[in-house]
Amino acid sequence: MITLDEITMAVGGRTLFEEVVCAFSPHNRYGLTGPNGAGKSTLLKIMMGIVTPVKGKVSKPNRVGMLRQNIHDFLSQSVINVVIQGNARLWDALQERDKLYDLEMTDEIGLRLGDLEAIVAEEDGYSAESNAQTLLLGIGVPEEYHNKLMKEIPQDMQFRALLCQALFGEPLALLLDEPTNHLDMESISWLETFLQNYTGTLIVVSHDRHFLNAVTTHIADIDYETVIIYPGNYDDMVEAKTAVRERAAQDAKSKEKKIAQLQEFISRFRSGTRASQVQSRMREMEKLQPQEQKKSNIQRPYIRFIQMEKPAGKVTLQIKSITKSYGSQQVIKPFSLEIHRGDKIGVIGNNGRGKTTLLKMLSQNLAPDHGTIELGHNVVISYFPQNHEDVINKRDSHNLFDWLKSQRPDAYDQDVRSVLGKMLFTGEDAFKHVSALSGGETARLIIGSMTLKDHNVIILDEPNNHLDLEAVSALGWALDEYPGTAIVASHDRDLIDRFAKKLIIFTDHGIELYDGPLEEYLKTKK
């Protein structure tokens, strides 16, 4: 069990949560939710002991698996060893044992080696390498990487190795911050199954709605400067929270109506013969006055992509036998496709297979080695790149208003401010420098610029990275409502399933096409 005892935390003068008291029990799987900036990662770091709260204390089991973010500390170690370090007691025993075997044997050393061998046996150390390999293969790290140094394998594989480190050694509790980052759909599915069978205490932060719904038994929601635990998965929490807010709004309206009636009585009879009744009504009205309450931090951006006045022709993109290679590696094998006006296409598949390369070519930001991509009549494309710095130079001195205005110089100032407000940049936020933006804020600003521009084809590469659940939900709605052509690459199943009617699937054998939604495709694969 993990318990929080009067945990208080403030950052930059803003209170994230105050005197939080709650417990996370074994056999339960908790999703830790809240919008960007609510303090989810901070609370996890407090539980891990990485961050010290302003007040309060945390108690947790002896063996806790944690998804670490400090890849640079492991770059010179082998992948297998990085995973085994997830069991600190075993790893320390193995390290000490290996050092003692290099020394001249004495009675004292012999006794210590016996103690260490007992620890290795207790921790199932003789099966450590095979157990680590099982985890690595399950999460999608190929066997040829297992004995390489971390710095010798791709970065997404490095993150997967750290996730295996957190899962290794049967920890009594698991603390996972965005574990689905850098995972493809197959690996996410494997992780879901692993966590569904996990019997310890799980606390996970994720912006993947489908993943949270599949894994969690409870939601710990950071709101009103505290943590409220709801039974059920994420959708259950949203339903319960919405019902509570609606009841509170109804109660407030009823009180306002009653106060108005009392006020009318007091005004009519204040100077008359019914003074005692007036005093009684005044006391009743004081009790009904609304108390100052902490505001909910739930915010959802308003996203709507408006197609330009002149729609595209029937065929928006004609792809003819395109290929693309990087050195000796052919990323895109000969591929042809005709994309029509109004098509909603999800692009899925494992990392490193060419999804970003294809989208760059479709958006005219990269030329194919062979073949052609022809734009249809009157086609205008708006592109959201996976690397935000391809659009926003974080080293320049633009503020948000000036940068957004530069994307559409003929836009009225009030239209630019309206877009900023819809993307949750209010008041003085307009004068914040783009260099100071977080990943989520940068993504919202780029999406905001797309709502301001003319286009009839939008291409988005992993747009949900860094966005919170509310923003991803708003984006899914906007894509579904968009009258033009939308092509989106994402590992977020909920987002793809929300809007896509066709799929481009990157597989081991090349690119496949499927005419239907994601859930239907996944059923055929099963």
Closest to 81 in 3D by CA, of 64, 102, 98: 98
The mean pLDDT value for 359-374 works out to 94
- Give the pLDDT confidence score for residue 251 in this predicted structure: 67
The mean pLDDT value for 222-240 works out to 87
Tally of structural domains, the chain: 3
Say if CB 461 and CB 355 are below 8 A apart.
yes
The pLDDT-based confidence of 403 (bands split at 50, 70, 90) is very high
- Give the pLDDT confidence score for residue 244 in this predicted structure: 67
Q: How far apart are CA 191 and CA 167, in angstroms?
A: 10
The mean pLDDT value for 436-450 works out to 89
* Burial zone of 73 (CB within 10 Å; 0-12 exposed, 13-18 middle, 19+ buried): exposed
- Give the pLDDT confidence score for residue 164 in this predicted structure: 94
Give Cα separations from 430 to 69, 336, 400, 470 (angstroms): 31, 44, 5, 21
pLDDT of 376 above 90 = yes
Q: How far apart are CA 479 and CA 289, in angstroms?
A: 43
Q: How far apart are CA 283 and CA 262, in angstroms?
A: 10
Structure-token pair, residue 155: 């970065």
The pLDDT-based confidence of 289 (bands split at 50, 70, 90) is low
**Mean pLDDT computed over every residue of the chain:** 87
Centre a 10 Å sphere on the Cβ of residue 69 and count the other Cβ atoms it contains.
15
pLDDT of 430 above 60 = yes
303 inside domain: no
Q: Could you say which of 135, 170, 205 is where a domain stops?
A: 170
395 inside domain: yes
Say if CB 191 and CB 179 are below 8 A apart.
yes
Q: Are residues 164 and 177 in the same domain?
A: no
Q: How far apart are CA 322 and CA 99, in angstroms?
A: 56
Q: Are residues 43 and 6 in the same domain?
A: yes
Q: Are residues 129 and 210 in the same domain?
A: no
Residue whose pair of structure tokens reads 């936020």 in the numeric block: 429
Q: Are residues 494 and 440 in the same domain?
A: yes
Structure-token pair, residue 245: 């807010």
Written as one string, the DSSP assignment of 87-100 is SHHHHHHHHHHHHH
289 inside domain: no
Give me the sign of the Cα torsion angle 247, 249, 252, 258. Answer: negative
Q: Could you say which of 139, 170, 201 is where a domain stops?
A: 170
pLDDT of 374 above 90 = yes
- Give the pLDDT confidence score for residue 296 in this predicted structure: 58
pLDDT digits (tens, 9 = 90+) for 62-109: 889 998 878 889 999 999 999 999 998 999 999 888 888 888 888 888
- Give the pLDDT confidence score for residue 455 in this predicted structure: 93
Q: Are residues 153 and 187 in the same domain?
A: no
pLDDT of 136 above 90 = yes
The per-residue b/e assignment along 215-245, b for 16 or more CB within 10 angstroms, e otherwise, is bbbbbbbbbebbbbebebbbebbbebbeeee
491 inside domain: yes
Pairing of strands 315-326, 329-340: antiparallel
pLDDT of 298 above 70 = no
pLDDT digits (tens, 9 = 90+) for 26-70: 999 999 988 777 888 889 999 988 889 989 999 999 889 998 878
Residues sharing a CB contact under 8 Å with residue 303, sequence separation 6 or more, in sequence order: 422, 423, 447, 451, 474, 475, 477, 478
- Give the pLDDT confidence score for residue 343 in this predicted structure: 95
User: Strand, helix or coil at 325?
Assistant: strand
Q: Are residues 472 and 349 in the same domain?
A: yes
Q: How far apart are CA 205 and CA 46, in angstroms?
A: 14
pTM over 0.85? The answer is no
The pLDDT-based confidence of 466 (bands split at 50, 70, 90) is confident
298 inside domain: no
pLDDT of 247 above 90 = no
User: Strand, helix or coil at 159?
Assistant: helix
Lowest mean pLDDT among 84-98, 269-283, 335-349: 269-283
Phi, psi of 416 (to 5 degrees): -65, -45
Q: Are residues 409 and 521 in the same domain?
A: yes
pLDDT of 292 above 60 = no
The pLDDT-based confidence of 524 (bands split at 50, 70, 90) is confident
Q: Are residues 164 and 185 in the same domain?
A: no
Q: Are residues 143 and 224 in the same domain?
A: no
The mean pLDDT value for 459-471 works out to 88
The pLDDT-based confidence of 263 (bands split at 50, 70, 90) is confident
Residues sharing a CB contact under 8 Å with residue 44, sequence separation 6 or more, in sequence order: 32, 175, 177, 203, 205
The mean pLDDT value for 466-485 works out to 90
- Give the pLDDT confidence score for residue 252 in this predicted structure: 67
Lowest mean pLDDT among 237-251, 380-394, 437-451: 237-251
300 inside domain: no
Q: What angle do CA 381, 387, 391 make, to 5 degrees?
A: 55
pLDDT of 295 above 70 = no
Lowest mean pLDDT among 113-127, 232-246, 276-290: 276-290
pLDDT of 249 above 70 = no
- Domain range for residue 357? 315-525
pLDDT of 454 above 70 = yes
Instruction: Specify the CATH number for the domain of residue 41.
Output: 3.40.50.300
Q: Are residues 459 and 505 in the same domain?
A: yes
Written as one string, the DSSP assignment of 73-88 is GGTTSBHHHHHHTTSH
pLDDT digits (tens, 9 = 90+) for 303-322: 999 878 888 899 999 999 99
Q: Are residues 151 and 182 in the same domain?
A: no
Closest to 310 in 3D by CA, of 452, 409, 450, 455: 455
Q: How far apart are CA 505 and CA 496, in angstroms?
A: 12
193 inside domain: yes
- Give the pLDDT confidence score for residue 523 in this predicted structure: 85
Say if CB 361 and CB 367 are below 8 A apart.
yes
Q: Are residues 369 and 470 in the same domain?
A: yes
Structure-token pair, residue 205: 């932060």
Q: How far apart are CA 314 and CA 341, in angstroms?
A: 5
310 inside domain: no
Q: Could you say which of 260, 284, 307 is where a domain stops?
A: 260
Say if CB 442 and CB 404 are below 8 A apart.
no
Say if CB 117 and CB 98 are below 8 A apart.
no
pLDDT of 149 above 90 = yes
Residues sharing a CB contact under 8 Å with residue 152, sequence separation 6 or more, in sequence order: 145
pLDDT of 526 above 80 = no
The mean pLDDT value for 283-310 works out to 72
